[in-house]
Amino acid sequence: MRRAAVAAVGALALLSPAACGGADSEADQKDVEVFTWWADGGEKAGLDGLVATFDEQCDYSFVNGAVAGGAGSNAKQVLASRLQQGDAPDTFQAHAGAELSDYIAAGQVEDLSALYEEWGLTEALPSGLIDNLSVDGKIYSVPANIHRANVLWTNKSVLSDAGVTAEPTTMADFLAALETLKAKGVSAPLAIGKDWSQLMLLEAVLISDLGPEGFNGLWNGGTDWNSPDVAKGLENYKQLLSYTNADRDTYDWTDAGKLLMDGKAGFFLMGDWAPSDFEAKGFADFGHVAFPGNGDTFQWLADSFVLPQGAKNPEGTKCWLKTVGSAEGQQAFNIKKGSIPARTDVTATDYPAYQQSAIEAWKTATQVPSCAHGAACSQGAVEAANSAIGKFSSDQDAAGLQKALAAAAALGRN
Ligand code: GAL
């Protein structure tokens, strides 16, 4: 009788959704869905590095939930609707700073403070960065890296063929170089992509025109968006935009990067995920310099991972987060991603030359946060700024842009 019942249960189990690979199957319990926008090129290579370490350190299976599109332009919408429907991935990518505060305020992510103690992260990570991951003394995510946003990448051959022999360090040099490239028939002297990439360019111009303190004030209320200095910055930005590819609003950052790789552009303003993408695509003829006029200001952003409320496999997520925070995970990830480790206990010489210089610069430079990548601005502020900058790309109304950005920044103060 008992044996028969057991057999019947066994037969039922074979027919159950679990046995068909449904929600409770053993395979599912091992799965950790990692939601990012790192789907291709250097970004994917970085993620692959992290996954290799996860496979070594954890008895769980990585499930790739990536949604392509630079800066999360598609992923963030998909994620928002999944979170709303109670269908959280096991972990997702979020930027340190105001963007993470949005998820915390919405009660969508769990407090990780106890795990920080257990894993020794409180000592291994810089306290300033931990502050950007915390609200009311609780820490909500594990950072994978620090990226630098304000870097100007160059195509060395395009510049030398046009007779531009030195990389520009001031706005005046930069405009002169762009004019030279244009005169020599370079079709897009300055390559650029859509909305958020344009916001990055504007931010870099404003760092030059207002200085780091004035720039910070734009996001924390200390600098008046309606001032003449900001108006001058917007005019400089407008001038720079006139040297960019006209079809910029249809381009993701990788399309703009391709213009540089193909020799159709001489310059490209982009974060330091760009060189790893160039390398992943076999392009080595590039140089770099801090955006003209930014001096030693390091505009930063940091990718981090969270434990969402309602994650299906919290234990698996914890193993992912432990990997992200570990010295091995950070090395495997950042060597490929182009960023520098968030941990401070690293050996710089383990990294390629670019990251070695960024590790040094991060220690000595003046740090300012990125709005486009959520360090300084809430998601609402970034969306409003992107839409204002997209509108400006076609109507060129600088006064309208100034007003719209003032309103966008006011949304982001938290
Ligand atoms: C940023 C992200 C970077 C990089 C970039 C381009 O928001 O922090 O890691 O992926 O987008 O997609």
- pLDDT (tens digit per residue) in 238-281: 999 999 999 999 999 999 999 999 999 999 999 999 999 999 99
- Whether the pLDDT of residue 305 is over 80: the answer is yes
Alpha carbon distance 101, 174 (integer Å): 37
Model confidence over 66-88: pLDDT tens digits?
A: 999 999 999 999 999 999 999 99
Which residue's CA is minimally distant from atom 10 of ligand 1?
A: 71
Q: Which residue has the tokens 């407090």?
A: 111
Alpha carbon distance 200, 270 (integer Å): 7
- Ligand 1 in reach of 303 Cβ (< 6 A): yes
Alpha carbon distance 225, 228 (integer Å): 9
| pLDDT (mean) for 19-34 | 69
Alpha carbon distance 313, 315 (integer Å): 6
CA-based diameter of the chain, in Å?
92
pLDDT at position 25 is 67
CA-273 nearest atom, ligand 1: 4
Alpha carbon distance 358, 272 (integer Å): 9
Which residue's CA is minimally distant from atom 1 of ligand 1?
A: 71
First to last CA, the chain: 66
The confidence band for 28, taking pLDDT boundaries of 50, 70 and 90, is confident
- Ligand 1 in reach of 76 Cβ (< 6 A): no
- Whether the pLDDT of residue 9 is over 60: the answer is no
| pLDDT (mean) for 87-95 | 98
- Ligand 1 in reach of 333 Cβ (< 6 A): no
CA-46 nearest atom, ligand 1: 9
Alpha carbon distance 320, 112 (integer Å): 13
- Whether the pLDDT of residue 19 is over 80: the answer is no
The one-letter amino acid at 73: S
| pLDDT (mean) for 145-172 | 97
- Ligand 1 in reach of 43 Cβ (< 6 A): yes
User: Do residues 153 and 266 touch, judged by C-beta distance below 8 A?
Assistant: no
Measured in Å, residue 145 CA sits from the centre of ligand 1 at: 11
- Ligand 1 in reach of 147 Cβ (< 6 A): yes
- Ligand 1 in reach of 225 Cβ (< 6 A): no
Measured in Å, residue 370 CA sits from the centre of ligand 1 at: 11
Model confidence over 209-241: pLDDT tens digits?
A: 999 999 999 999 999 999 999 999 999 999 999
User: Do residues 308 and 22 touch, judged by C-beta distance below 8 A?
Assistant: no
pLDDT at position 16 is 36
Assessment of whether the complete model's pTM goes beyond 0.75: yes
Find, among 312, 378, 248, the residue nearest to 33 by Cα: 312
Average pLDDT over the chain reads 93
Q: Which residue has the tokens 């004035």?
A: 214
CA-271 nearest atom, ligand 1: 5
